[in-house]
């Protein structure tokens, strides 16, 4: 066999394997949680920044979060609402994109954050103080918007939504 023959044979095998993985992924995706959508605004000294978000409210939704996503729009994210303030621990298992995490008090104030969480990491990311919610956004968003402790996240959950 020459190299010319091996190349197309390997290419066909790669396509078949890729198609099988795609079919498997579609079946696996059918079992993934679905999320309601909402809007929120991050308010910092630099201004007010609207985001289209998904809501993680149930245990299956919270367990899945942004796992398996290959991309996230610059003005998108996921809000995890725990209801009552508590110590919150997150991780990046099966999460393919780097994320920033903003930990939010019951009044919508930022109480802690974690920048540039590493994709697929099993390291625990915990709040330093109790929080009601966590907002996950693309890595670099905290720096881009200059988010600081004490800034405000506006959403109906916190009773401070902007109209």
Q: In the prediction, which pLDDT does 32 show?
A: 82
| pLDDT range class, residue 148, cuts 50, 70, 90 | very high
> Where on the phi/psi map is residue 128: left (φ > 0), alpha (ψ -120 to 50), or beta?
alpha
CA distance 79 to 104: 10
Q: In the prediction, which pLDDT does 83 show?
A: 95
CA dihedral of residues 14, 18, 24, 29 (deg, nearest 10): 160
CA distance 101 to 98: 10
CA distance 64 to 130: 22
Q: How many CB atoms lie within 10 A of CB 108?
A: 21
Is the pLDDT confidence value at 130 over 90? Answer: yes
Q: How many CB atoms lie within 10 A of CB 27?
A: 9
List the strands of the sheet with 99-104, edge to edge: 110-117, 99-104, 131-138, 76-86, 47-56, 36-44, 152-154
| pLDDT range class, residue 77, cuts 50, 70, 90 | very high
| pLDDT range class, residue 8, cuts 50, 70, 90 | very low
| CA-CA-CA-CA torsion sign (137, 142, 144, 146) | positive
| Mean pLDDT on 18-40 | 67
Q: In the prediction, which pLDDT does 76 show?
A: 98
């Amino acid at each position: 066999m020459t190299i010319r023959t091996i190349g197309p044979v390997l290419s066909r095998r790669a396509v078949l394997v890729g198609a099988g993985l795609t079919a498997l992924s579609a079946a696996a995706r059918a079992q993934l949680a679905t999320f309601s959508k909402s809007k929120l605004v991050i308010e910092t000294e630099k201004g007010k920044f609207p985001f289209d978000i998904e809501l993680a409210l149930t245990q299956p939704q919270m367990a899945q979060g942004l796992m398996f996503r290959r991309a996230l729009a610059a003005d998108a994210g996921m809000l995890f609402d725990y209801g009552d303030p508590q110590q919150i621990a997150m991780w990046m298992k099966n999460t393919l994109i780097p994320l920033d995490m903003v930990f939010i008090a019951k009044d919508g104030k930022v109480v802690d954050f974690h920048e540039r969480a590493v994709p697929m990491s099993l390291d625990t990311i915990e709040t330093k103080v109790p929080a009601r919610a966590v907002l996950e956004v693309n890595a670099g968003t905290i720096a881009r918007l200059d988010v600081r402790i004490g800034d405000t996240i506006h959403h109906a959950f916190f009773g401070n939504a902007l109209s």
